[in-house]
Amino acid sequence: MAFGHGKVILLGEHSVVHGRPALAVAVPRGAEITVVPAAPKLPATTLHIEPWNVSVDAGPAPNLGREPLQEALRVACGFYDDGRHFALSATVRLPSGAGMGSSAALGVAVLRALDDARGLTRSDDEIYQRSLAWEGVFHGNPSGVDNAMATHGGVGLFTRGSPLTPVVPRHPVRLVAAYSGASSDTKGMVESVARQFERNPEQVGRQFDAIGAIVMNGKLALEQGELRSLGQLMTMNHKLLAGLMLSTAALEEMITAAMEAGALGAKVTGAGGGGCMIALVDSVAQQQAVGDALRKLDKTVYDVESGS
């Protein structure tokens, strides 16, 4: 069984694309893949994904309506020149387009499964580098944070072009993640922020710098066990992201509900424009209360915990 982690970004969305750091937490949900040799009649590697009920192959004929996924599978298979084909069966336990790293989790799991099928063992760093090509198909200009967390797991500080730095929280990190019900267009949101930066590099650059400072303070808060400070930083980060037009009415309603239910802080996570929000809590009881408040809005809720 090959696996790739999902993730949530605690602090640092979008500015991470422009060279600032981001702080992220891997989630136990992700993508799991089993692999068997392809039937002799199949001329290419295939991938079937549950619960989406989606199938693609890496052959030359276009899989209409599934072209990005088919191209990503071709990219993954292109790392091997032995002519062998396999049937991959994936279970993805993350919502698609929700900011929880579903495409990166799937890509890392696919690459590990293709290695496993050949009896190969590759380092996490090699898997990370290869999975960047997979993510590029979907997101155009990925920062690398999603596939870094999908590969390595844990809690990490990520800066584009640098190795992931593990972060050891003093206390467990408890979060409530909730899906707004609307998918996020990561590529479109990244391009939107890039256009804002091009039009006003001084102002948007200052926003990126402010987010970068929030990230570094958040790392210290995690390491020192200052969860209330971390929550305040998350809320500050959200206001800066909202200023970049990355929030929505649904996300704002969810964030308000989480804070009123006792969350220490709450923000959009991922690309924005839809997808998920996260709320920081400091106990199981608080996690339940915040989750219940979000369920009352008919939102899908995921509890996330990373150990100290």
| Catalytic residue set | 146
Q: What is the C-alpha separation between 21 and 214, in angstroms, rounded?
A: 10
Residues in the chain, total = 308
- Quote the DSSP letter at residue 107: H
Q: How many helices (H) and strands (E) does the chain have?
A: 9, 11
Burial of 298 (0-12, 13-18, 19+ CB in 10 A): exposed
Label residues 33-58 b or e (16+ Cβ within 10 Å = b). bebeebeeeeebbbbbbeeeebebbb
Report the relative pairing of strands 46-50 and 86-92 from DSSP bridges: parallel
Whether the CB-CB separation of 9 and 270 falls below 8 Å is answered with yes
Report the relative pairing of strands 300-306 and 173-179 from DSSP bridges: antiparallel
Q: What is the C-alpha separation between 221 and 218, in angstroms, rounded?
A: 5
